Structure 1
Amino acid sequence: MGRILRAISENGGVVITAADTTDIAARAEQIHKTSAVVTAALGRLLTAASMMGCSLKGEESSLTLRLKGDGPAGSVIAVSDDRGSVRGYVQNPVVELPLNRYGKLDVGGAVGQNGLLHVIKDVGMKDPYVGSVPLVSGEVAEDITAYFAASEQIPTVCALGVLVNPNLTVKVAGGFLVQLLPGATEDEISRLEENIKGLPSMTNMLDSGLALEQIIDRVLAGFAPNILDEFPVDYRCNCSRSRVEQMLISLGRDELADMAAKGEDTEVACHFCDKKYRFTAKEIEKLQKQC
C-alpha cells in the first residue's frame, strides 16, 4: 500500500504533496512485465497522477496523464481517482536502452523528447478539462512541471523517482510536488530554491529510510510545515464484467454479429490489470440485441 502526505507552510505560502508509491510501481511491473527503463517511466507517471489526482474534488472525479513521445515505449498512460489510487498502461512494455550520460535509466530516451503530455480531468462536468503541453525532456518530472507552469500558471517543482533492482523488481518509488500559493514572498522563494538545490534524489531519500514526514521537513526546511492530511493509495483497476459488456455493445450490431457467427468464445483483456473476461457466442448474441 502506498502513502500520500500533504502539508502547508506555517504562513500558507507553500504547499507540498509527497508520496511513497513503491508498492504501486511494483504492482505495475508485475502486471505489465516491464523492462527496467519502462518500469521507471510508468512508475514516475503513476506517482505524478496519484499526487495530482488526490487534489480532485468529487468522489467520481478522475485524472488521466498520457505521455505520447517519439520514443520506443510508445504511449504511457496513468489514471488516478480522487483519492490518489491509480492504474496504468504502456504501449510497449519492453524497451532496452543503454544508461544515460549520468549512469541512470534513460527514461527520456524511452519516452522520447518530441511529443505531448496530455492532462485530462473529469470532475463530473459536461465535458472534461483537457490540457496539453509539449514534452520538455520525456523524463516526466520536468514535463509535469512544465504543464503546471503553462496550463495552470502555478509555480511548481516536481520530483519523481523509481529505483529498480538488478532483478527488475522495484526497490523504492515516490515523488513530491511543491507549489507556491499567492502571497509567497521573494525570500520564501529563494529559501525554497536553496532547499531543493541541496536535496538528494527522491529515490536516494526513500532508499536511505527517510519517512515522508522527514522528506517534507527537508524540502520545507525553515517553513515550519503542518501536515494537512494523509491517506493510503494503491494500484487499483476499476474494470468489471459489466463495463466490458458496455464496451462490446458500443462496437455495434454488425461487429457483434460477426463475432457471434464464429461460434467461438471471445476473450477481452483489461489493458490496466490484464484481467481476462470470456464471453460465449450466445452471450455475444444477447449483447447484440442490446445495441
Structure 2
Amino acid sequence: MSDYIVRATAGNNQIRAFAATTKELVEHAKNVHNTSPIATAALGRLLTAGSMMGSMMKGEKDLLTLQIKCSGPIGGLTVTADSNANVKGYVFNPEVMLPPNPQGKLDVGKALDLGVLSVIKDMGLKEPYTGQTHLVSGEIAEDLTYYYATSEQVPSSVALGVLMNKDNTVKQAGGFIIQLMPFAEEAIVDKLEKKIGEITSITSLLDENKTPEMILEYILGEFGLDILDTIQTKFHCNCTKERVEKAIVSIGKKEIGEMIAEDKPIEVNCHFCNTHYNFEVNELKEIIKRSK
C-alpha cells in the first residue's frame, strides 16, 4: 500500500486524528495535468486534505467536494473525494509560475491570494451541505483549520505538505488532521496545543521519511495513541464515455443538432483526469435517437 491514511484516537477518545502519505497520487495528478511545481504543491495539498476528509464520511455513496475560487494567478482548484478515499482534482491554471516566498519555499499563498473555500458534502439528502469561509492565508492547511473552527465548530489542526525534487517530480506528500472532541478536557487541550506548537513544519517531518504512523506517534504518543485502521487512498476518476454521453444529452437536442449540422466529430475533455472522449457524427445522431 503506497499511499494510505491512518485513522486514530488519543487521550481516551478526546482526540481524533488522521494522517496520510500521498506521494503517488500527487505525482499522478502532476503527470495528468502537467502542473508546474507551485500548481503541484497547491493541488497536492488539497488532494491530501480531500482524501482524509473523504475518509471521514460515513455513507458508501457520500461525496465531498473542496472548491477554491481565488484572485491569484492559479485561478482556483477543485477536488472531490468519496468515503473510500478515492480522490481526483484539477487546478484552473496548471502552468502558474511564481518566485519563491521569503523562506525560499513554493509560494502557494501568493498563487491563491484572496478567495473563498467551499466544502460541499453530498450525503444523499435533498440538498448537499455547503460550508464556506474566506481564505485566511491561501496556504490551504490554515484555510481548512479556519473552516473547521468557523463552519463546523470543531477545533482542528490541519497540516498539508508537498515537497518537490529539482526535476519537478514529487519527493514527498502528506499531512494530518487532528481534532478535539466536544468533551475534551482543558488539560488535554492545553497539552495538545503546546505539542502542535513545537512542530516546525509537516514538510520537515515528511522529509525525514516519517510514515503517517510515525507522525501521529510523534504528536500524540504521550496522549496514548490508539491506531484504529489504515485505508488506501488513490487518484481515481470515475468518468466513462457513457457518463460523458449523458452530459451531452443534457445540453439539449437543438445544440446536438447544430453539432451534427457542422458534420465534424466533437471532443469532450474530463477536467479531473484529462481523458479525451471523441464522438463521431453518427454517434451524435444515435445519441439524439436514444434521447427521444
TM-score of the superposition, structure 1-length normalised? 0.97
The SS at the match of 1:244 is helix
Kindly state the Cα deviation for residue 288 of structure 1 after the two structures are TM-superposed: 2.1
The percent identity for this pair of structures is 46
| Match in the other structure for 2:109 | 108
Matches within 5 A, 1:29-68: 29-68=30-69
| CA distance in structure 1 between the aligned counterparts of 2:112 and 2:138, rounded to whole angstroms | 5
Question: Match of 2:185?
Answer: 185
Is the contact made by 2:11 and 2:188 (CA closer than 8 Å) also made in structure 1?
A: no
Q: How does 1:248-263 map to 2 (within 5 A)?
A: 248-263=248-263
SS of corresponding position for 2:221: coil
One-letter code of the match for 2:50?
A
Judge which range, 125-134 or 202-211, deviates more.
202-211
Letter aligned with residue 85 of structure 2 = G
Q: Deviations over 1:99-125 (max 9, x none)?
A: 11221100011111x210011101111
Match of 1:168 in 2: 168
User: Which residue identity is paired with 1:97?
Assistant: L
Greater shift, 192-201 or 32-41, is seen at 192-201
Whole-Å separation in 2 of the counterparts to 1:68 and 1:141: 16
Letter in 2 for 1:101: P
Please give the secondary structure, in 2, of the residue aligned with 1:222: helix
Q: Secondary structure at the match of 1:283?
A: helix
Counterpart check, 1:22 vs 2:23: yes
Deviations, residues 253-286 of structure 1 (Å, cap 9, x unaligned): 1110111111111111111111111111111112
Which residue of the partner structure matches residue 205 of structure 1? 205
Asked whether the 8 Å contact 1:108–1:139 carries over to 2, the reply is yes
Gap runs ≥5 in structure 2: none
Distance 2:209 2:163 in 1: 14
Provide the rounded CA distance (Å) in 2 between the counterparts of 1:85 and 1:207: 25
Instruction: Tell me, in whole angstroms, the C-alpha distance in 2 between the residues paired with 1:23 and 1:242.
Output: 28
Q: Deviations over 1:193-248 (max 9, x none)?
A: 12111123222212212121111011113111101111111000010111100000
Separation in structure 1 between the aligned mates of residue 216 and residue 45 of structure 2, nearest angstrom: 19
2:105 is the alignment partner of 1:91: no
Moved more, 195-204 or 27-36: 195-204
TM-aligned CA deviation for residue 60 of structure 1: 1.1
3-state SS of 1:218 partner: helix
* Residue pair 2:156, 2:179 contacting (<8 A) in 1 also: yes
Once the two structures are overlaid, the 10-residue window that deviates more, 185-194 or 66-75, is 185-194
Counterpart residue number, 1:267: 267
Structure 1: distance between partners of 2:281 and 2:53: 42
1:211-230 → structure 2 map (5 Å cutoff): 211-230=211-230
Moved segments of 4+, more than 2 Å = none
Question: How many aligned residue pairs are there?
Answer: 290
Alignment match, 1:159 = 159
Aligned residue type for 1:283: E
What 5-or-longer segments of structure 1 have no aligned partner?
none
Residue 233 of structure 1 pairs with residue 267 of structure 2: no
SS in structure 2 opposite 1:168?
coil
* Superposition CA RMSD, Å: 1.1
Distance 1:77 1:219 in 2: 30
Q: Which residue of 2 aligns with 1:286?
A: 286
Alpha-carbon deviation of 1:128? 0.7
State the distance in 2 between where 1:183 and 1:146 align: 20
